[in-house]
Chains A and B, each alone.
Chain A
Amino acid sequence: MNPVSQDRLLDELRQTVPPDILLHSEEARRPFECDGLMVYRKLPLLVALPENAGQVRDILKTCHRLGVPVVTRGAGTGLSGGALPLEDGLLLVLSRMNRILEIDADNRTARVEPGVRNLAVSEAVAPLGLYYAPDPSSQIACSIGGNVAENSGGVHCLKYGLTVHNVLQVKLLTIEGEELLIGSGALDAPGYDLLAIVNGSEGMLGVITEVTLRLLPRPQTAQVVLAGFATVAAAAAAVGAIIGAGIVPAGLEMMDRLSVDAVEAFIAPGYPRDAEAVLLCELDGGAAEVAEQMRRVREILDHEGATSITVSTSESERLRLWAGRKNAFPAVGRIKPDYYCMDGTIPRRELPEVLAQIAADAADIGLTVANVFHAGDGNLHPLIMYDADQPGELEKAEALGAKILRRCIEAGGTVTGEHGVGMEKIDSMCEQFSAAELEQFHALKRAFDPRGLLNPGKAVPTLNRCAELGAMHVHGGALPFPDLPRF
């Protein structure tokens, strides 16, 4: 099929939706050319900003009829290029659908439109003593529809789970414009558990127009302890020891020396400057429980050789200690003009080994990597620092990124813990999955979107793409790491 022209698409869409929700001039489309992964940019053919599900349905029906591909975007904070537009496709931006439709205090749920910001949910239900648990770092800006599409995590998912654990129902429009109710107001629904695949589906299966979230009672109290360690390995051992002792912290984060230096220079939260790594461990629950567990965590940290230990004694101190972690990315951004944030997950026991490999790989290639990550669940966020204005540095950063992801696969992990595959990690998928596995993903997508019009080219690579890469990377037509266990 020949690509549809902008004029034609605009004419057809104007038959059913108000013209002011369609952006067609170049200057109006330009702000939408990338999401949170700014190294990839494409100008969409047309941008639509629907205000309700009816308009979304009308837009999808028209695009389906004309064979125009559709990329859905929420707040545009995604870090893997999942909302990167297509030059011959429509960009469907759901940020105007931002109403909280219903708060059900008795059943402890909130029904929201996809453009509602993550933090706005917790703010709205705070008077009821409830909150929405998943808290991605971008929660001030990122929206619930995007959270579902990416199955977003956050600092507290070690204890409270990912988005998939906190969503009860999703209203989904298929590319044909047919509405599907996935899940229910109860804890399960008849048939296959499609919520399991809709969460994290990266806009490939349908367009989310409404989400019902599970709300939790806000814990009575929370306390955080900050501990410095002389080596990254010692900090990693302490992580294993805390969890091995039967304690499930609400959050368990690690930062290396480079990140600590960066945040101290930026906002001076009072982190130890002599440590090679610091751990932040948050405990929440009843006051007595938190006090009991904090005593045990301190013992463990001492035993594991912590060089300094600071326990928050007030809410303001707790927030100050967290501020260092929460400002780590912008702080690192002040050291070098650009950074590239990676997102692999590995078994916790592999942390010291993989972190050492990453440092060595970075030194080989001539770049620096800062590490700020969710240590409790083994989710690494190496920040590769580079300067895009220096010729060749971006390519070096991307090569190092691919190498880091390969290290994660080799360690028995995955190429993405919470940011999604999007455009960014599509080639790494060829290394993590076999051809038959990728083909199974494609078959599943076809069950929802037989013509492949939703976010084409993202999330799951075509076998051809992998074969071409294979020819680039290895000899004899073999897939990379043919004998690697991929479980």
Chain B
Amino acid sequence: MTDCGQQIADRVRAAAAEATPLVIRGGGSKAWYGDPPRGDTLDVTDHAGVVEYDPGELVLTCRAGTPLAELRALLQENGQHLPFDPPAFGAAATIGGAVACGFSGPARPWTGALRDYLLGTRVVNGRGEILRFGGQVMKNVAGYDVSRLMAGARGTLGVLLDVSFKVLPRPAAERTLRFACAQGEAIRRMNAWAGQPLPLSGAAWDDGSLWLRLAGAQSEVDQATKTLDGRAVEDDGSWQALREHELGFFAGDAPLWRLSLPPATAPLDLAGPCLVDWGGAQRWYRGAEAPDRVRSVTAAAGGHATLFRGPPGIERFHPLPDAAAQLQARIRQAFDPHGILNRRAEAPA
């Protein structure tokens, strides 16, 4: 496990000089996400390994090519975890890919998003310069928080080299409760509970069944189980299957839309199956409605729609107003003036 930072920076600098686009590649587990980029492959999987981990500090620093599974195992050995519980979408997933995509698991509304735990990064910008932002401390307001900006930027602002995360102790106890109810009732209940001091760490609904995850001290979980009067069930791996899109809902080839919404939004008027996660704030839709309608219905409710998986030729991301889109383009240019990092192949017709 060596530090390949300098080699990666040299490669980017050479590419910048020739204006050759580069496609950053880690484990490839999420290569299908977003617009397909074009260019020469920049494989970063050799830049791997934990740089520093002191459980008492609650901070872990590792190279971006480190497999997610390896980090999970290491943290587990120490009774800790990545609280944002990122989906891997494949055994080869790396922490760098997780940061670049910025996905968070079912506990996100309660424990926070990936970006919330990202304390620092070392990156190579589009000029081939190695830059460090943030650090390994919990509180840091020196300079703009560029590290968190990297989360979800899909490698378009820099090649991630090292990342530092705040990590947390695993909850002492967890329990899953199930309730039979319709979608609208489930959303109402989830939001009512989220307004109370309950130890929630998951609230999802699929096909007539609301499932709630409690996490915290044993006494707290026991108390909440009594208060909520739900049916306690064994965790049969459903939460992990939800996180990894391995539930039956996600099978098949129908387009998969991710709808990000204010959590209490009533069920949307869209024909076809919908799965509710994040206590209502993230919903997955698999119906056949036209993309424009999916977007307009979601936007009218104060949210945005992403075509998570689907046929080529349809715009993946929710369009931005002109002023915002221009600002985003200027920000990209500030980091990658030659436009070489994960540049999209072609705009859909």
Q: Which residues of A contact B (CB under 8 A)?
A: 104-109, 128-130, 150-151, 153, 157-158, 161-162, 164-165, 174, 178-181, 184-194, 196-197, 199-201, 204, 217-220, 240, 243-244, 246-248, 285-286, 288-289, 291-293, 345-349, 374, 377-379, 412-421, 425, 429, 432-434, 436-438, 440-441, 443-448, 459-460, 486-487
Contact = CB atoms under 8 A, between A and B. Distances in A.
B141 interface: yes
Interface string B44-65: 0000000000111111010000
B300 to A, nearest CB: 12
B262 A107 contact: yes
The 3 lowest CB-CB distance pairs between A and B, nearest first, are A246-B169, A196-B148, A288-B219
Contacts of B125: 440
Contact of B140 (A129, A161, A345): A345
Contacts of A108: 191, 194-195
B146 interface: yes
Contacts, number: 269
A487 B136 contact: yes
Contacts of A440: 125, 129, 131, 146, 334-335
11 contacts: A107-B191, A162-B139, A184-B260, A186-B262, A217-B197, A285-B199, A345-B138, A432-B143, A444-B335, A447-B331, A487-B164
Q: Interface of chain A, helix or strand or loop or mixed?
A: loop
A219 B198 CA distance: 9
Given A107-B262, A180-B327, A377 B194 contact: no
Contacts of B195: 105, 108, 128-130, 217
A444 B146 contact: yes
A187 B131 contact: no
Given A192-B149, A243-B58, A378 B168 contact: no
Interface in B99-147: 102, 108-109, 112-113, 115-116, 120, 122, 125, 129-133, 135-146
Nearest to B54: A349
Contacts of A421: 141-143
A161 B119 CA distance: 12
A187 B113 contact: yes
A282 to B, nearest CB: 15
Interface stretch (B16-24, B66-74, B86-94, B317-325): B317-325
B142 A129 contact: no
A186 B264 CA distance: 10
B132 A161 contact: no
B1 interface: no
Interface stretch (B285-293, B301-309, B339-347): B301-309
Interface residues of B, number: 90
B138 A186 contact: no
Given A429-B143, A440-B334, A443-B335, A192 B157 contact: yes
B325 to A, nearest CB: 8
A246 B79 contact: yes
Given A187-B109, A288-B219, A412-B136, A193 B152 contact: yes
Contacts of A413: 135, 137
Contacts of A185: 262, 302-303
A193 B115 contact: yes
Contacts of B116: 161, 164-165
B197 A218 contact: yes
A348 B57 CA distance: 6
B264 A107 contact: yes
Contacts of A178: 323
A219 B218 CA distance: 17
A286 B318 contact: no
A243 B142 contact: no
A132 to B, nearest CB: 14
Given A158-B138, A289-B220, 8 more contacts: A179-B323, A197-B144, A289-B216, A289-B217, A292-B217, A416-B140, A417-B141, A487-B136
B278 interface: yes
A193 B148 contact: yes
A417 B137 contact: yes
A378 B219 contact: no
Contacts of A432: 142-143
A444 B331 contact: yes
Nearest to A158: B138
A419 B141 CA distance: 8
A432 B135 CA distance: 10
B145 A487 contact: no
Nearest to A80: B141
Nearest to B216: A289
Contacts of B209: none
A208 to B, nearest CB: 15
B169 to A, nearest CB: 3
B263 interface: yes
B132 A487 contact: yes
A448 B141 contact: no
Interface string B177-195: 0000000000000010011
Contacts of B231: none
B76 interface: no
A187 B278 contact: yes
A329 B56 CA distance: 29
A220 B220 CA distance: 11
Contacts of B219: 286, 288-289, 291-292
A432 B153 CA distance: 25
A184 B142 contact: no
Contacts of A248: 168-169
Contacts of B79: 246
A348 B166 CA distance: 13
Nearest to A419: B141
